[in-house]
Structure 1
Amino acid sequence: MTSLLNSQRVRLALVELFAVISAVSVALMFPDSDLRKSDVFLIILLHFFSYVISNMPNDFRTRGYLKEFEKVLYYSIVFALLLTFTSFMLEEQFMISRRGVFYFLTINAVSVYAINSIAKWFDRDLEFLFHKEKKIMLVTIAERWPALLETFQKDGKKLEHVVGLVLLDGSDLQITEDIPVIAEEDSIDFATRQVVDSVFIDLPHDIYDLNYWVSQYETMGIEVNVNLNIFDFDTISRKKIQTFGSYNVVTFSTKFYKPSHVFYKRLLDIVGALVGLVLCGLVSIVIAPFIMKDGGPLIFSQDRVGRNGRIFKFYKFRSMYIDAEERKKELMKHNQMQGGMFKMDNDPRITPIGHFIRKTSLDELPQFFNVLKGEMSLVGTRPPTVDEYENYTPSQKRRLSFKPGITGLWQVSGRSSITNFDDVVKLDLAYIDNWTIWSDIKIILKTIKVVFLKEGAK
C-alpha cells in the first residue's frame, strides 16, 4: 500500500506538471503579464512546493468534484502567496505583474482541476506505467470477515482485486460479494496456479499456526501481510510494519525495494522501450522479407506467464517454422534442460534467417512493446510458457515474483552452458534478492557486450 501511495503521488505530480507548463505557455502570450521564458523553471519549482504544502494527493481517488474544487482553490492560494513572496524577494530577477499572476493562476487552476478530474477516470488505467493493482487473496475466519470487508470498503479498494477468500472455519457462511471462496485444502495450489500478488492473513494467533501459513506463501515469493499480533517464530523473509486499511500489519517479504528504485526502473523501461521500438521498426524493414519468405507471419506471439502468474501475449520476430509448436511435443525427448524449460541445440524448427536473428538477438526486439505495456521489464527473469509454468513447484514460482525481462542475470551468465533449470532458478533468485536499479544498469551494459560479441546465444 505504501508503494501504491508513492506511485500515485509521483503520477499525479507529473500529470499536474503538464497543466502548469500549459498554463505558463498561455500566460506568456499576454504582453502585460511581464512573464519571461526564463521564469518558467522557477514557476515549476513553486508548483511543486504548492503541491506538497497543499497535500494535493491526499484522498485523490475518493474526493468528489466539490472537494476537488476546494483542494485546487487551496493549492492556488498557496501558489499565489509563493509567487508574490518570490517576486518581492527576487525583485528584478523575477518580475511578474499583478495581471500576470491573475492570468497564470486562473488558467492554471482551471487546467489543474480539469486534468485532475480526467485523471480520476483513467487513474486505474494509467497505473500500467508505474504500478499494477495488486491481486489479493484473503485468509481469515468467518467471525472476522465482516470487519475485514468493511475495512476494504472504507479504504476505497475494489473487491474485484480480491481473487480469493479462504475461510478456515465457517465454510457454510453465505458470502454475498462476488468473491471466489477457496477451500482450505485447495488454497496453496490456488496461490501456485493463479495470479496472486499479496496474501492478507487475519487469524487468531493463539488458535492457528501462523508460521505455517506465512511460510507457505512466502516460499512462492508472494508478499504476505499479517494482521499485527505477537510473533515468536522465525521466517525466511524480512518484516515491515505497515497499515492495511484500519489494521496495523506485519508484512513478510523476501525483499523490500526502495520506492525510488522501483520508480526509476519503470522510467528506464519506458525510455528504453521507446528507443528499442524505433530500432525494431528499422530492423523489421530489412529482415521482414526473409522471415516471411515461407508464407508465415513476421511476428510470433505466444501466451507467456508474467509476474505472479499473469498471462500475457509475448512478441518476437519469428525464428521458427510455422508448425514449431506442434513439433515441440515430438522433440521433448531431446530436451537438454533438466527441469521446467525446453532447450535443444541445433533445433530443427529454426529457419535459416532464424539462426541469424537468434545469434544476434534481433528476434527479441518486438518485446520492447511488452516492456512499454508494463508486462515485461528491460531486465528481469525470462517468462516461461504456460505448459512449463503448469509444472512449477511453489518454490520455483518465486522466480515469477519479479516482472519478467528481455535480459537478465541468467542471459549474461553463459546461458548456453546451463542445462539444469534449478541453476536458472538460483540465478533468478539471486537477482531478485539483491536487486537495485544499479544491478539493472550493470546487466544492461553486460547484455550489450554479450550481444556484440555474440556470446551465449544459439
Structure 2
Amino acid sequence: MQNKFTSRSKHLDFIILDLICIEVSYWLAYYIRLGRLVNSTPGEYTMMNIMVILIHLSIMFISEGYSGILMRNAIQELKKVVIHNAEMFAVILFILFFAKQSSVYSRILFALFVVIDTITMYIVRLVRKKVLYSNEDKERGKGQMLIVTNHAHAQSLVKGLAESGYRNYLIHGIVILDKDMTGQKIDGIDVVADAGGMYEYVKSNIIDEIFLEYDGEGVAEITKRFLAMGVVVHVSINNILPGTPNAAVENISHYTVITTSINIMSFKQKVIKRLMDIGVSIIGMAITAILFVIFAPIIFIQSPGPIFFKQERVGKNGRRFKIYKFRSMYMDAEERKKELMAQNKMSGLMFKMDDDPRVTPIGRFMRKTSIDEFPQFINIFKGDMSLVGTRPPTVDEYNQYDQHHKSRLAMKPGLTGMWQVSGRSEITDFEEVVRLDNEYIMNFSISLDIKILIKTVFTVLKRKGSV
C-alpha cells in the first residue's frame, strides 16, 4: 500500500482541482435550486459551503482516494468519485439531522450538488490525467532516478519502470553491479557506472532517487552508503533490509518497494514549509527594494559595478542555480581569492578569513548586519532556496566534496540554518558544519524551523556570528 502522505504530496494538482469542482458545483446547485445569485446568498449557505469543504478535506485525509489515481482506468475512477461524493452527502445529512437543521437547508440542493460534483469531478480528473499523459516526457519537476541492479534484471527493470503512463521521475541512468557495462545502453538508457564507480557518479551528478533491485550480497551496505549521501533509496520488496530509517512501502510503476531516506517530509510539512517560504519572501523582497534605494548608490560609489552579486551555487542534490546578494566586495574579489587562500581560517571545503581585504567599507557593514543577504528572498520565492536549510556551496567547493558531504544537499539550501545559529564565526571545521546540517535534515520539523528563524533574528540583532 502506498504511503498516504506521499500519495497526497504527489497529487496536489488533483486535490486543488477537486476543491475547485466542489466550489463550482455547490454554487451552481444553489443557483439552480434557489434561483439567486451568489452575492445574494444567505449566511447559512455560506457557512454550509465552508462545512462542505471541511467534510471533503476530512474524507480526503482519512481515505486513500488519491492513492494510485494515475493508474486507474475510467471505470475505476468513476467508482472512486461516486463513493467519495456519496460519503460527503451522507456526512452532510448526518450533520443536518444531528444539529436539527434539516428544515433550514434544502436537502434537494445538496442532492443536486452531489450529482453535479460527481459529474464535474469525474470529467476534470480524466482531462487532467490526459494532459499529464501527453506531457509525460517533460522534465520540469521530475526527480532524477538511478537504477542500480545486475545485468540479468536490468532490461526488464527498465521496461517495467518505463511502462507507467505518468511518472514523477526520469530514469537518469543504470548502474550494473555484477558486470562492467559502462558506456553501453540498455533499452536506450545509458549504463553510467559499475559497482566501483557508482558512489562517485552519484556525488558528481544530479541524482534524487536510487531504485535498487539486487539479489546479491551487500544490499544493506549499498543502501547505507547512498543514505549517507542524502539520496532517497527505493529498495525492491524482495530485499528486506534491517536498520533503514524512515522506511515506507510505496508503489513505483508496477513495483512494490521499501523507500528509505535520512528524512521524509510529510505532505502537510511540505505545504506549510513552502507557504512560509512564499509569505516571508514576499515581505523580504519588499524590504529588499527599500534597501536597494538606500544602499545601491553607496555600493556603486565605493566600487563601481553591478549592485547585485550573482554566483552559481549548488542546491538540492546537485542542482545549479544563481544566488543573489547585495555586492559587498570589490569587483576583482574572485581573482584575489587565490592569493588569500593561505589565510583561510576554515578547515575543509569553505573559505573564510578575518578582515578580508576584498570587502568594501559598506560591505563590512552590510555583512555585519546581514543586509547583503536580503536579495536571497528572490531565490526563496523562486523555489531555489528555503528560509531554513543548509548553506549552498560554490561549484568549486562542491567539486571537492567527498561522498558523505553530499548528504548536506538532501534538502533545499536555506537563508539560515543550524550552522548559522550555532555560532558560525566560531565553527572552523567543515566536518562540524556537515554534522550540524545533517542533524537539521534528520530532525526536521516545522517547529525546528521556527526555532531556527527566531534564533536567527536574535543572532542578527546581536551582530553575533556574522561573516
1:189-200 paired onto structure 2 within 5 Å: 189-200=200-211
Q: 2:14 matched to which residue of 1? A: 12
The CA deviation string for residues 156-191 of structure 1, in whole angstroms up to 9 with x for no partner, is 464962222011245567512244532333212101
Paired residues in the alignment total 449
Three-state SS of the structure 1 residue aligned to 2:223 is: helix
What is the aligned partner in structure 2 of residue 374 from structure 1?
A: 383
The amino acid of 2:261's aligned partner reads S
Q: Deviations over 1:340-371 (max 9, x none)?
A: 00112222222333222222212222222222
Residue pair 2:132, 2:166 contacting (<8 A) in 1 also: no
Question: Are positions 1:261 and 2:272 aligned together?
Answer: no
Task: Report 1:258-407 matches (<5 A).
Answer: 258-293=266-301, 294-407=303-416
Separation in 2, partners of 1:408, 1:104: 48
- Summarize the Cα distance change of 1:70–1:216 in structure 2 as closer, same or farther, 3 Å threshold: closer
Q: Is the contact between residue 159 and residue 179 of structure 1 (CA under 8 Å) also seen in structure 2?
A: no
Q: What per-residue deviation string (whole Å, max 9, x for no partner) do you get for residues 125-164 of structure 1?
A: 9xxxxx9643221111121123322431344464962222
Cα RMSD after superposing both structures: 3.6
Q: Cα deviations across residues 366-418 of structure 1 (Å, max 9, x unaligned)? A: 22222233322211110000000000001222211222111011111111122
Unaligned runs of 5+ in 1: 126-130
Aligned to 1:454: 463
> Contact 2:7–2:67 (CA<8 Å) still a contact in 1?
no
Which stretch of the first structure deviates more once superposed, 429-438 or 12-21?
A: 12-21
Q: Percent identity?
A: 35
* Matching residue within 233, 242, 245 for 1:238: 245
Match of residue 213, structure 2, among 186, 199, 202 = 202
Name the stretch that deviates more: 153-162 or 262-271: 153-162
- 2:288 maps to a residue whose letter is C
Shift of 1:90: 4.0
Say yes or no: does 1:184 pair with 2:192.
Answer: no
Query: Secondary structure of 1:312's partner?
Result: strand
Q: Do 1:226 and 1:250's aligned partners in 2 also have CA atoms closer than 8 Å?
A: yes
Residue 164, structure 1, aligned to residue 173, structure 2 = yes
Match of 1:381, SS?
coil
Task: Specify whether residues 114 and 226 from structure 1 end up closer, same or farther in structure 2 by C-alpha distance, changes over 3 A only.
Answer: closer
Shifted more, 295-304 versus 378-387: the winner is 295-304
Alignment partner, residue 128 of structure 1: none
In structure 2, distance between residues paired with 1:50 and 1:249: 27
Please, which moves more after superposition, 324-333 or 407-416? 324-333
Q: 1:141 to 1:122 in 2, by over 3 A?
A: closer
**Which residue of 418, 434, 456 corresponds with 2:443?**
434
**Secondary structure of residue in 2 paired with 1:213:** helix
Q: Following TM superposition, by how much is the alpha carbon of 1:193 offset from its aligned partner in structure 2, in angstroms?
A: 0.8
Alpha carbons 2:411, 2:441 under 8 Å: kept: yes
What CA distance in whole angstroms lies between the structure 1 residues aligned with 2:180 and 2:142? 28
When normalised by structure 1's length, the TM-score is 0.83
**What's the secondary structure of 1:238's corresponding residue?**
coil
User: Does the C-alpha gap of structure 1 residues 144 and 274 become closer, same or farther in structure 2, counting only changes over 3 Å?
Assistant: same
SS at match of 1:321: coil
* Change over 3 Å in CA distance of 1:50–1:292 after alignment to 2: same
Q: Deviations over 1:276-319 (max 9, x none)?
A: 23333333333333334444233222111112211122122222
The 1-side partners of 2:466 and 2:269 are apart by: 30
Residue pair 2:176, 2:191 contacting (<8 A) in 1 also = no
Instruction: Provide closer, same or farther for how the CA distance between residues 303 and 116 of structure 1 changes in structure 2, counting only shifts above 3 A.
Output: farther
Q: 1:221 aligns with which of 216, 219, 230?
A: 230
Aligned partners of 2:212 and 2:234 also within 8 Å? yes
For the 8 Å contact 1:32–1:97, the answer to whether it is kept is no
Is the alpha carbon distance of 1:271 and 1:149 closer, same or farther for their aligned partners in structure 2, counting shifts above 3 Å? same
The answer on whether the counterparts of 1:54 and 1:78 sit within 8 Å (CA) in structure 2 is: no
Separation of aligned partners in 2, 1:390 and 1:149: 30
Residues 412, 60 of structure 1: CA spacing in aligned structure 2 closer, same or farther, 3 A cutoff? same
Q: TM-score, normalised by structure 2?
A: 0.82
Segments of structure 2 that go 5 or more residues without pairing to the other structure are none
